[in-house]
Amino acid sequence: MKGRIGYTTIYLLVVLACGFVLNGCSPKDDASVAETETTQFIIKNKGSDTMVNLAQAWAEKYTEVSTTASVEVSGGGSGTGVAALINGTVDIANCSRQVRPTELELATQNTGKAPQEFIVGYDALAVYVHHDTPLNKITITQLAEIYGENGTISKWNDLGILHSDCPSDKIIRISRQSNSGTYFYFREALLGTSRDFRIGSLDLHGSKDVVEVVGRTPCAIGYSGMGYATSHVKMLEVAADPDSPYYPPNLENVLAKTYPIARPLYMYSLGEPIGEVKIYLDWILSAEGQKIVEKLGFVPLESKSE
Amino acid sequence: MNILRKKSAANLPFSETAIELFIRLCGISSIIFVFGIFFFVFREGAGFLFNGLDLGQFLTSVEWQPTSLNNKRYGAFALIVGTFSVTLLAMCIAVPFGLGAAIFVSEFCSPKLRETFKIIIELLAAIPSVVWGFIGLTLMNQLIIAVFKAPIGLTMLNGSIMLALMSLPIIVSIAEDALKAVPDSYREAAEALGATRWQVVYRVLLPAAKNGLLAAVLLGAARSIGETMAVLMATGHSVNIPSGPLSWIRTLTATIAAELGEVARGDEHYQVLFIIGILLFTITFVVNLIADLVIKGIRAE
């Protein structure tokens, strides 16, 4: 009797111990394997969805440039990048809006390192409509009335066009989820700081999704980076107000600052960049890094492109 | 009796007591986890819930403007309506199919087919919710546009279909258990009286198993209310009071998922998201409690 219980106990303990050992060891194993295989420094890079393709392209190209460091990129939105910066879990945060002073202060307090700001390129926010929409240009004032709270424009007819592919004539507003830098920038560009977006827009999760949905939906209007354009959508020419000329979103107009909704793209390093992080940032700002900016449909920094 | 137990407990070897203690701890831990989660969620939201939040506005206003720079408004009414409407529609789809499948599996199909059928239903339960969301975003989206000529396929209907498919396995397996629990003597008696198989099901089994079936539906509904990823991707994620199945909506869960990543810890917005968590916890708790009481009702009979 006693013997049997003893065996059962031992058996149970062995099973439990195996469980613990397996659970406890597997992550450690992975880590040590990763360490021995790549003695590289890993730069953690996170944030803006607008910039995630760009950051990915940089990271890929960088594997050919550097043998001592590699870059790990993830998206999630500018807000996610800033949160990671505040928690000190990234080396570089991507941000399609400027980080607020309160957030910078919080990051400095939490991590003891003051984030440093770098402008790494420019992005023009294009206003997209379905490619069959009989509309070619729009003013910021009209956009504000479409997207803003208590706005007066809700039908295509209000814009003075007859949209035969949209039987309900209702403008379907496509927007972004509220932790996106694009959302904040577009709201500020249209409505300033005193007015909010009207509720009832479709808040999608990514720059690419917006263009995709607009491309399938004749009634829709949306905003996203100009690099995301496809053949199913049309980019509108935009004027700052009814009296100003209209400009299409392109390289020249962004550099000449005539296109009204263009913004800088930021990278924030945690503290003064040192070592591999500094080498990486310098490379991004070099002619080679800026070439990739242009290739992805963004606008490179002026000084380097000339 | 008591003395006997005590005596034998004293005589037990140490190993036995240790194992008993361990198993007891495992049992208690689940209770601790549930209360721990409730405590944590409540603690994060409590500050703003009792001090600052206008609860009337929270429950009745549709103005969800948590990121406004100078006029933050936290009206969750549209989100509450969204959650309930998508769940209701999902249940309208899932209940007939789920109960029908349960009746078929329990009463009409051969034992061999039953085993295959049950495995397939369990497979359905194993599909991760993000995969359902993906199906909703791509396949179902285009299907709804093509079938209903809707301008956009990311609608309440889309989310409901995804939720219905996700809660189907729960409904089928619990409803089947409930039908199986009806004593065979009922069936035999009904057949002896000359009832056809359909009459047995309709007149005898369904009334006898009604509590179990209701519990199945309620647990399926609780699953739908709590689902996040699939509805986030499939419903359009728009703060909007729906006017029909083709309206787009936003649910309580999707709001938490989409916005919690961005907010600063301890911020008002952060606390409101936790208050939404408390609300969700309360809703699912009530639904589960009703389901439990209903099941208890069967046992008492």
List the single residue in B151, B240, B258 with the smallest CB-CB distance to A217.
B151
Instruction: Give ∠ CA B150-B152-B156 in degrees, rounded to 5.
Output: 85
Say yes or no to pLDDT of B191 above 60.
yes
Quote the tokens at residue A19. Answer: 């469980």
The whole-angstrom separation of Cα B81 and Cα B282 is 16
Shortest distance between the Cα of A202 and any Cα of chain B, in A, equals: 5
pLDDT over 60 at A28, yes or no: no
Q: State the pLDDT at residue A7.
A: 52
B68 touching A (Cβ < 8 Å): yes
Residues of B in contact with A9 (CB under 8 A): 15, 18-19
Given this model, what pLDDT does residue B11 score?
A: 66
Min Cα separation B199/chain A (Å):
49
CA distance A193 to chain B (A): 6
* Residues of B with Cβ-Cβ distance to A3 under 8 angstroms: none
pLDDT at position B10: 57
How do residues B238-266 score in pLDDT, each as one tens digit?
998 999 999 999 999 999 998 887 677 77
Out of A96-105, A114-123, A177-186, B86-95, least confident range: A177-186
Q: Do A9 and B19 touch (CB under 8 A)?
A: yes
pLDDT in tens, A155-214: 999 998 998 888 889 999 999 988 787 888 899 899 988 899 998 899 988 888 899 889
Rounded to whole angstroms, what are the CA distances from A101 to A107, A117, B161?
Answer: 10, 12, 45
Is residue A37 predicted with pLDDT exceeding 70? no
* Spatial distance between the Cα atoms of A237 and A231, rounded to a whole number of angstroms: 16
- Contact assignment for A202 to B248 by CB distance below 8 Å: yes
Cβ proximity of A122 and A253 under 8 Å: no
Find out whether A178 and A128 touch, Cβ atoms under 8 Å: no
CB contact under 8 A, A199 and B64: yes
Residue B179 host element (H or E): helix B156-180
The alpha-carbon gap from A195 to the nearest alpha carbon of chain B, in Å, equals 8
Q: Is A171 helix (H, G, I), strand (E, B) or coil?
A: coil
Q: Do A194 and B70 touch (CB under 8 A)?
A: yes
Which chain A residues are closer than 8 Å to B236 by Cβ? 202
Q: Do B237 and A200 touch (CB under 8 A)?
A: no
Query: Residue A78: what pLDDT?
Result: 87
* DSSP tag of B151: S
Tell me whether residues B232 and A205 touch, CB distance under 8 A: yes
Asked if residues A111 and A270 have their Cβ atoms less than 8 Å apart, the reply is yes
Summary count for chain B: helices (H), strands (E): 15, 2
B264 contact A CB<8A: yes
Tell me the CA distances in angstroms from B169 to A24, B88, B92, B179, one per residue in order.
33, 17, 15, 15
Shortest Cα distance, chain B CAs vs residue A256, angstroms: 30
Residues from chain B that touch A220, judged by Cβ atoms under 8 A, are 151-152
Under 8 Å CB-to-CB from A51, ≥6 apart: which residues? A94, A95, A96, A265
Q: How confident is the model at residue B216 (pLDDT cuts 50, 70, 90)?
A: very high
Instruction: Tell whether B146 is within 8 A of chain A (Cβ).
Output: no
> Could A199 and B63 be called an inter-chain contact, meaning their C-beta atoms sit closer than 8 Å?
yes
Nearest-CA distance from B174 to chain A in Å?
Answer: 31
Tokens of A20: 């613990």
Q: Answer whether A83 sits within 8 Å of B236, measured CB to CB.
A: no
Q: Where are the alpha helices (DSSP H) in chain A?
A: 2-37, 52-65, 78-87, 101-111, 140-147, 181-191, 207-216, 251-255, 275-285, 287-295, 302-305
Q: What is the mean pLDDT of chain B?
A: 89
In this prediction, residue A119 carries a pLDDT of 92
Q: Which residues of B touch A77 (CB under 8 A)?
A: 261-262
Which chain A positions have a beta carbon within 8 Å of B259's beta carbon?
A: 177-179
- What's the CA gap between A10 and A5, in Å, rounded? 9
Rounded to a whole number of angstroms, the distance from the CA of B261 to the nearest CA of chain A is: 6
Nearest C-alpha in B relative to A167: B151
At B298 the pLDDT is 62
Residue of B nearest to A130 (CA): B151
- Give the DSSP letter string of B239-256: ----SSTTS-B--HHHHH
Shortest alpha-carbon distance between residue B218 and chain A (Å): 30
Q: Do A199 and B65 touch (CB under 8 A)?
A: yes
Rounded Cα–Cα distance for residues B99 and B225 (Å):
20
Point out the residue among A106, A178, A219 whose CB comes nearest to the CB of B67.
A178
Interface predicted TM-score (ipTM)? 0.76
Select, from the ranges A119-123, A125-129, B8-12, the one with the highest average predicted confidence (pLDDT). A125-129
Whether B69 sits inside 8 A of A193 (CB atoms) is yes
Per-residue pLDDT reduced to its tens digit, B268-300: 889 999 999 999 999 988 988 988 888 787 666
Say yes or no to pLDDT of A93 above 80.
yes
- What does the pLDDT look like over B152-180, one tens digit per residue? 888 999 999 999 999 999 999 999 999 99
Q: Which residue type is seen at B169?
A: P
Find the length of chain B.
301
Tens-place pLDDT, residues A49-77: 888 889 999 999 998 888 888 899 988 88
Chain A residues with CB inside 8 Å of B75's CB? none
| Mean pLDDT, rounded, of chain A | 83
Q: Note whether A202 contacts B19, CB cutoff 8 Å.
A: no
CA-based nearest residue in chain B for residue A48 = B262
Contacts of B263 in chain A (CB under 8 A): 79
Among B131, B71, B125, B74, smallest CA distance to B98 is for: B125
Residue B250 touches chain A, beta carbons under 8 Å: yes
Which of B19, B233, B237 shows the shortest C-beta gap to A12? B19
pLDDT, greater one: B54 or A134: A134
Q: Which helix (H) or strand (E) holds B284?
A: helix B268-300
Average pLDDT of the residues in A116-128 = 92
Tokens 């962004």 belong to which residue? A254
Task: For residue B271, give how far its alpha carbon lies from the nearest alpha carbon of chain A (Å).
Answer: 16
